[in-house]
């Protein structure tokens, strides 16, 4: 989750206003034990110290949450003066309390100080002030799946745990995530012939590469992901017919001129 939030923050910042949907963001992920089976609660308590209150799961380095002093493991007591449990109840969150807290931040005005009250290590409550920003609303969602895969709908990008494990560097992870984020920015939809779909994938490759470069990732290191996937896919089993071979994709991307425009324009 820590790797994913870092890549998410940097890619969303690099996308700037090119996404159709914008949201307020603080560069933080929350977690809550209600998202897990009750039999897992003792383990969460022993390993992560997760009790009844939702907690900060990860913060993006250099983001508003990090700058304000939020740390992984902090228990979240309130946001904007509203108790965390009241936010969950008002949004009918059920077991998706962490999502409700993110939605609360996403709907707040950017640039307006936002108070977040937390408890750290069982101590007294801490009141921290965030200065959230507004940028691309698309989020990276971590999906528990051993398969090496990334996909997107019209709103968010899904990365499997298998992909996060397979990616040796965050540069590689940003390549996969950037490609899918590019599909969202480009407004791509399913359907059409093979040629049209392949052109769609080519454009997503190109924009994805520019996104990761604008986010400060290394393009040469990033392409290692496709190179290693290609070495595993010598019969093409891992590749849809709408995609070029991994070798061809690497060749094309190496020839793509770097873009010095940041954030990446639409």
Query: What is the reported pTM?
Result: 0.90
What is d(CA 115, CA 239) in angstroms, rounded to the nearest whole number? 47
Residue 97: count other Cβ atoms within 10 Å of its Cβ: 24
**Contact yes or no for 188/200 (Cβ under 8 A):** yes
Token pair listed for 236: 């093409």
What would the pLDDT profile of 61-77 be if each residue is shown by its tens digit? Answer: 999 999 999 999 999 99
What would the pLDDT profile of 11-34 be if each residue is shown by its tens digit? Answer: 999 999 999 999 999 999 999 999
What would the pLDDT profile of 73-82 be if each residue is shown by its tens digit? Answer: 999 999 999 9
Q: Can you tell me the mean pLDDT for 197-224?
A: 95
Strand partners, 125: 119
What is d(CA 47, CA 45) in angstroms, rounded to the nearest whole number? 6
In a 13 Å sphere around the CA of 236, the CA atoms on its Cβ side amount to 7
What is d(CA 245, CA 79) in angstroms, rounded to the nearest whole number? 47
Residues of the chain with pLDDT > 70, as a percent, come to 97
């Amino acid at each position: 989750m820590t790797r994913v939030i870092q890549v998410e923050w940097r890619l969303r910042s690099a996308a700037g206003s090119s996404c159709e949907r914008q949201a307020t963001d603080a560069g933080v992920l929350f977690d809550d034990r209600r998202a897990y089976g009750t039999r897992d609660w003792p383990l969460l308590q022993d390993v992560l110290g997760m009790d009844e209150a939702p907690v900060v799961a990860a913060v993006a380095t250099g983001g508003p949450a990090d700058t304000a002093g939020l740390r992984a493991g902090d228990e979240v007591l309130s946001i904007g003066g509203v108790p965390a449990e009241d936010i969950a109840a008002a949004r009918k969150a059920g077991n998706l309390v962490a999502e409700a807290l993110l939605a609360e931040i996403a709907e707040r005005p950017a640039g307006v100080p936002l108070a977040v009250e937390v408890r750290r290590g069982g101590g007294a409550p801490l009141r921290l002030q965030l200065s959230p920003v507004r940028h691309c609303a698309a989020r990276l969602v971590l999906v528990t799946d051993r398969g090496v895969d990334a996909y997107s709908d019209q709103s968010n990008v899904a990365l499997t745990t298998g992909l996060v494990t397979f990616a040796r560097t965050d540069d590689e992870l940003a390549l996969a995530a950037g490609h899918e984020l590019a599909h969202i920015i480009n407004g791509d939809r399913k359907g059409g012939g093979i040629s049209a779909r392949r052109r769609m994938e080519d454009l997503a490759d190109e924009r994805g590469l520019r996104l990761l470069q604008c986010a400060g990732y290394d393009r040469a290191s990033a392409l290692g992901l496709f190179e290693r996937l290609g070495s595993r896919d010598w019969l093409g089993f891992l590749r849809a017919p709408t995609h070029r071979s991994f070798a061809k994709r690497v060749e094309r991307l190496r020839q793509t001129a770097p873009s010095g425009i940041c954030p990446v324009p639409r």
